Amino acid sequence: MIGVDWGTTSFRAYRMADDGTIQDRRTAALGIMQVENGAFADALAAQIGPWLADGERNVLMCGMIGSRQGWVEAPYLPCPAGAGEIAGALAGVAFPDADVRIVPGLIHADTAGVPDVMRGEETQLVGALPAIGTEGLVCLPGTHAKWVRIVRGRIAGFSTFMTGEVFSALRGHTILGRMMAEAPQDDAAFADGLARSAAPGGMLHHLFGVRALGLSGRLADTASASYLSGLLIGHEVRAAMPSAARVHLIGTAALTAPYAAAITACGGSPVVQSEAAAAAGLARIAGSASWT
């Protein structure tokens, strides 16, 4: 089979054996935003044409390709959902010479009825489930970080935190960014920001503290981005994590390292999982689907 993880800014394809072993792979800077005039079929054929010519028939895709801005919208599936429920809700697209389907995103409403959504992470989670087990708490850091509860081997519910995007907006477009100099991660400043997130006053007040600490010479220009990162991740972890929880982390090392530090500082136990979970998830979902 062929698995495709097609997001907003990148395209990753995997040719896999039935057991999920990756036999070949392709990566391209061809996110859905780079595909013009909705020519997704042509873009896909150009990337995986040789594998199709070689006899592959089944193509399963996940990520923003299934969003309203993508090829076809694969409607959000309600939680709880595991590989079986997801495999039963694939959206098909018209494509010559292959059976191409798209994994749905997931939707979950909290106790107040406010919805939350994911698209792409459900496939990573299904791929990571064998390592995580049937019960657990999982964090996928990123632009929109996800905290996910696994119950009986299925995704039972989740909460999204806009931490990464808020960091970028604050750094790029507020007075806080104007005092920040490019510098490597400053672990001490990150820890100070983490500690500050536990203080009273709330995040909107703590943010101004970044500026006041800088103005008063107590926070160096080269340390303030790390302090801000610690402050925001600290607020996220304190809101998302029950005390003393074990938290499985899925993501790149650049993201899982600070989150592991934050989880530890807040009394939790981080367990870093393999980040290459999307291909495995596509293989597991494909294994649960009935291809004709």
Q: Closest Cα partner for 58 from 29, 28, 87, 33?
A: 87
Q: Which residues contact 273 (CB under 8 A, 6 or more apart)?
A: 128, 131, 132, 138, 248, 249, 250
- Directed axis angle between helix 224-240 and helix 253-265, to 10°? 60
- Each residue 97-126 as x (binds its own copies by CB under 8 A) or -, in order, gives ----------x--x-x-xxxx---------
Query: For its own copies, which residue of 215, 221, 252, 291 counts as binding (CB under 8 A)?
Result: 215
Q: Which residues contact 41 (CB under 8 A, 6 or more apart)?
A: 71, 93, 94, 95, 96
**DSSP 3-state of 17:** coil
For the chain, report the end-to-end CA distance as a whole number of angstroms.
Answer: 13
Query: For its own copies, which residue of 17, 175, 181, 188 counts as binding (CB under 8 A)?
Result: 175
User: Which C-beta is closer to its own copies: that of 46 or that of 188?
Assistant: 188
Regarding 46 and contact with its own copies (CB under 8 A), the answer is: no
Query: For its own copies, which residue of 15, 101, 154, 196 counts as binding (CB under 8 A)?
Result: 196
Query: For its own copies, which residue of 47, 123, 124, 163 counts as binding (CB under 8 A)?
Result: 163
Instruction: Provide, rounded to whole angstroms, the least separation between the CB of residue 208 and its own copies.
Output: 4
Phi and psi based region of residue 55 (left: phi greater than 0; alpha: psi -120 to 50; beta: remaining): left
Query: For its own copies, which residue of 200, 244, 254, 290 counts as binding (CB under 8 A)?
Result: 200
Residues near its own copies, by CB under 8 A: 76, 107, 110, 112, 114-117, 144, 159-163, 165-166, 168-170, 172-175, 196, 199-205, 207-209, 212-213, 215-216, 218, 232, 235-236, 238-240
